[in-house]
Amino acid sequence: MSGPASWPALRAARAAERPRDECGVFGVHGHAEAAKIAYLGLYALQHRGQESAGICTSQGGEQYVHRAMGLVSEVFNERNLARLPGRHAIGHVRYSTAGESLLRNAQPICANTDAGPVAIAHNGNLVNAGAVRRELEGRGAIFGTTSDSEVVLHLLARSREGSLEERLIDALSRVKGAFSLVMLTHDALIAARDPNGFRPLTLGRLDGAWVVASETCALDLIGAEPERDLDPGEVVVIRRGRLRSLRPFPGESREAFCVFEYIYFARPDSNLRGGNVYAFRKELGRVLAREHPVEADMVVPLLDSGTAAALGYAEESGIPYETALIRNHFVHRTFIEPAQSIRHFGVKVKHNAVRGILDGKRVVMVDDSIIRGTTLTKIANMMRNAGAREVHVRISAPPTVGPCHYGIDMPTRQELIAHRHAVPEIRELIGADSLGYLSIEALRRTSAVLKHGICDACFSDEYPVPVDPEKAVPQLSLFRSIEDTDDDDEPEVSGSPNGAREGAE
């Protein structure tokens, strides 16, 4: 894989035009090939994070860790997986904001405590992490990462409770925001969700072993049988093959599951809180067609995430569905741009319009969201250059007017096009003949069939957990720091004050 010097270029090439979820977590307890099962689970969760990956296993009171920058297939191989022994494992894939793509922030994060070694992998964002970190630093704590997840580890280490699960509960009671996490001790796998239930976490069984994952698609890949989702505020402790459920946190009056998981982030083949993602997206497209009909010759999905909604729109409207925009699925890493400038090169290297079917046609382009509007503007222009007579844009979600503080890497409020402009102005800016967003009322009516509460703060500006915008924590990090150049291929074994020493076989 490419060396550390290439990461600034990679981040620039992947400038955040679309929102990104920061990570996925996976855990397995009691399987003879725990490391390989975790590897496969992370492979299925790759869409949730592409910057770094890591696995920690437990055997004989020691924890073995391998973490590196890159995709799961680049980080792990037969050699380093063979150096991760044990029947218990947790894993993590991570996406970070620009400037925070550091190996030191790769998870799982490991440490030794007086109660034994622990490793934590976390999905979500803690809105009070900055304040808690400053308090801990004032009391002498030394942080080894810039990730908000490490705050939980420090709180756990300082807790005066007895068992490690009690210490984790004590630590989690002091943080606010979103967490779906897995923790590995010398003999137990512990999983927990925040009381609002912002992020997904599901349980399954595999050949007598327990598994936990961010999405059910990870269970499908390894052949595990889904058991159930963890409830908001639930902590599950799995030890010696037995599962114990705890509900230590005060219950919230209303669950606030991130609706963007359904709209964009989760894989279409996953089930979230009992609802299938693909079916939900398709229904949004049907509702969108009823709210914003238009006379056209074809419906075209924009990017992969618009496919299900576009199919729903086509079926409801009776307009034929066409794949008139082709995506290059092999653009995973930074590419070399020719010295002679090519107009809109970054968009065209990933997408190309099919001239043969667009010439003279009226096109409805369907996507799930408009964040900054830059890419959509270039693609609308691309469709016209390929011969489209009219370009109508339909969005299967309401306008994105606010940032997420609960674990989605999203631009600041001022960078969101829908915060700065009304719909008619956005239509003109992106160069569309018409523009229609799904109304928030329609989104809430459609979401009601899921039978649990949702968080739609990025559309409604109604935040379930209050956040001070002046003290908002940057997604996935607390502070900017220098580039980390560690590119070691060796696993680590827990043992030093920060939880890892290198060179262990």
Q: Would you name the residues annotated as active-site residues?
A: 23
Residue 88 tokens read as: 């218990």
Q: Do β-strands 52-59 and 88-94 pair in parallel, antiparallel, or remain unpaired?
A: antiparallel
For residues 141-151, one letter each, b for 16 or more C-beta atoms within 10 angstroms of the residue's C-beta and e for the rest, the string is bebbbbbbbbb
CA angle (83, 86, 92) in 5-degree steps: 75
Question: How many residues appear in the chain?
Answer: 505
Residue 10 tokens read as: 């990679």
57 vs 64: CA distance, rounded Å: 5
Contact 486, 103 (CB under 8 A): yes
Q: How many CB atoms lie within 10 A of CB 271?
A: 21
Question: Can you say whether the dihedral through the CA atoms of 306, 307, 309, 310 is positive or negative?
Answer: positive
Name the region of 476 (left: φ>0; alpha: ψ -120 to 50; beta: rest): left
Which residues touch 495 (CB under 8 Å, ≥6 apart)? Answer: 62, 112, 501, 504
Helix (H, G, I), strand (E, B) or coil at 154: helix
